[in-house]
Structure 1
Amino acid sequence: MVGLGSVSVPVVKQYLRYVETLDIDVSALLLSSDISATMLTQESERISGEQLQAFLTNLIITTDDPLFGLKSGAFVETGSYSVLGYITMTCATLEQALERIQPYEKLVGDMGVTSINYLPQQLVINWHCAYTFAEVREQMVDNVFASWLAYARWLSGQELGPLEVHLQRAEPASELIHYYQQIFACPVLFSQPSNSLILPRKYLNIQLRQPDHSLLQTLELHAAGQVSALGEAHSFSIQVKDIIRILLAKGISRKDMVAGQLNMSERTLQRKLQQEQTCYQKLLDEARLSLAQQYLTETQLAVDDIAMQLGFSETRSFFRSFKRWTGQTPSLYRESSSHKSG
């Protein structure tokens, strides 16, 4: 897929849930956008980005409402984000949910790219829209930010709100600005360098309402396979590292099982990693370190159990590796982390 890529059917259906509350001929809207109503009955189907851009262009003309992007954000559901939505629903904290956006957002669609900046007191979430029509981009950004906020509030069961919202679009008419402030309940700045939500960093620790670690692992394995099938644009090594991390959470570190998840041989896996100037062991070490730090700071698991969980045959091998990675023993790292959080 070239051009604007593709987008999952649930994205279109969120807009349609809003459209159905209006006096609009939905069938005519879809027909003029070259979108099959039959295709929209299949959640796993995708349409082209060009079709979505045409659909939104027609929606802009039909509604003549410069706020439809914001208003349609209220119609978000877990399924609006495809598998990513169900993955975030099973995360334990908002931080875990945010960490899943970049690896799996392509499953939702190729509409744009998310990046997150972690500052000492703030969290800056940027979204760069990939679409080419300026009016469509403005409505999509409004929809994405309003949807994110509504979904985060549902996930957490709390009335979360950003500190500020930054939008690249020019400032709208004064009577429209009130609606932006009503949705986001904070200052909304226009003509900014990027489209960004600025949040308190402490939000990362917010507990979500339906954590399910076992289901999360299963969904991530499924999502990793889907991303691979889409010919995902991230580097191959990122795909491999994601799968390693997911399998490690089940105590599995075998290269052949990682290769199996990608439907290839170990030799092909090794060759493709070499093409990106890396190797399986390096990615395994990085994934082990990340999980080890998580286990040491967020659980009371004994160091022996952590070593076994990460696929080390002996605890002392884990000790040596962890000290090489961090300069500290696992016990000292846990102790120093507990002092910082205290």
Structure 2
Amino acid sequence: MRNDRHSVSTHFARTMIAAAKRHHLDHDTLLQDAGLTEQLINTPGLRITPEQLSRLTQGIWRQADDEFLCMGSRPSRHGVFALMAKQVVRCRTLRPVLYNMSRFYNLVGDAFRLEFRVEENTASFSLTLIEPDKDPDFTLREFMLLLLHRFPSWLIGQKIPLRYVTLDFPAPAHREEHRLMYPCEVLYRQPTNSFVFDADLLNAPVVQTSHTLRAYLRSLPLDWFKRQAYYSVYTRRVMDYLESSDDLAAACMEVVSAELHMTSRTLRRKLTDEGTSFQELKDGVRRDTAIHLLSQSSLPISQISRRLGFSEPAAFTRAFKQWTGVSPSLYRQA
């Protein structure tokens, strides 16, 4: 079916549009170009695709000429990240990458301070906003921490395994999104925003080049918004199976447990211990795939229903309304 499609909370689109309105940008054009509407992003429970969020981000970058999305004490002109990236791609290992990233941003802007530290067996990369009240919904902090982890990971050709992430604000209503954003435990109400990892990885070689960087920059910020979810062991294995399945209708507990070489009873117990269930995981995959198909294709709802393994469109409509609060037809209209 697919292995990288997922949906994103409309929270991020709402906060971006709110910042755009505060700075008198043409928010109607921003929404239209992203394939979004005010009704969609303000309807509780609805979700959007990474592609829609990426187009919205690009629109704000262009309109405001600000890569900080109008949420910093000072703007960062569109192109600053690319300038930094062209400098650090020349580094040999991860250690100088992080050092030069922090030095670059601390020199060219004063919206936040970055600090790279190594202490015994751990390394940390932290971000502190100069004027946090300019980021009332915490979106800039979440966005920058995501960027600061995923770009160096791309440079060394592997996801940097994190011990934990700290955030300087309380756990928000959308905290479940942090499972998609940060591949580790997240600690709230901390002194700063940071990620911490094993210092041994600082010697990992940079495998990207100026040539591969050009293609990477053209795809941004979509690559930052794609799923890199943190799940426990058996949850992740079930998700991997479901996301690669071409026949969700046949993907039942017995089939998946056999693929994982265990009994269905054992798998059910493992998932319960990890705080989830097979049906919950399957519904999540169905929901995200449905959102993509409804927003990015003209497939009839009856055909989408069959692809997702529902016996009839009415069953799909009931399930989709339970997941999002609206029917598939209303979602597509929005």
Rg larger for: 1
* TM-score of the aligned structures, taking structure 2 as reference length: 0.40
Greater RCO, CA 8 A, separation 6+:
2
